[in-house]
Amino acid sequence: MNRFATITFVTSALMLNAGISHADDAMKIGVVDMQKAIQTSETGKKAKAELEQAFNKKKKELQAEEASLKKAQEDLQKKASALSESAKKEQGQKLQERFMKYQELLQKSQAEIQKKEQEMSAPIITKIREKIGELAKKKGYTLILEKNENIVLFSQEKDDLTADILKEIN
């Protein structure tokens, strides 16, 4: 079954589920760009600014540690010829331990930022979804899809409800 036939079949099935016959031709499909709605809403902008502030603080800490590690590695390389094998090995191990702690801190920081982003975006997404439901009922839409490149390849501008949703949530 080709893509067009699949879409036609799915659309027909949705219409039957919604109680719409082909003769009625009353199925109305809209799209919303959720990323745009999240990022350009007032609450989304505030959340983004807060996240950037937290991210920049962590980034500075991590950059300072990375610079310190590079300096320590350069120092070890410069002193390597004057050190005994056991001293080189010991300092190399200490440097390796510091590097592993740095990697651990980097991963932990990334996980914290992602978790905070999810926590901050969850209420925004919930609010957007509520407004989508209200707007769909008010304007008579049967189906609202998320507009992104992987799902909706094309839609008419008149069916893009993102601007309407932004007006509602702001």
Tens place of pLDDT per residue across the chain (170 aa): 444 444 444 444 455 555 544 445 678 999 999 999 999 999 999 999 999 998 998 899 999 999 999 999 999 999 888 889 999 899 999 999 999 999 999 999 999 999 999 999 999 999 999 999 999 999 999 999 998 877 888 888 889 999 999 999 98
- Token pair of 58 as six digits: 């962590």
Closest CA to 162 of 45, 39, 14, 51: 39
- At the top level of CATH, the class of 3-169 is alpha beta
Report CA dihedral (97, 98, 102, 108) to the nearest 10 degrees.
50
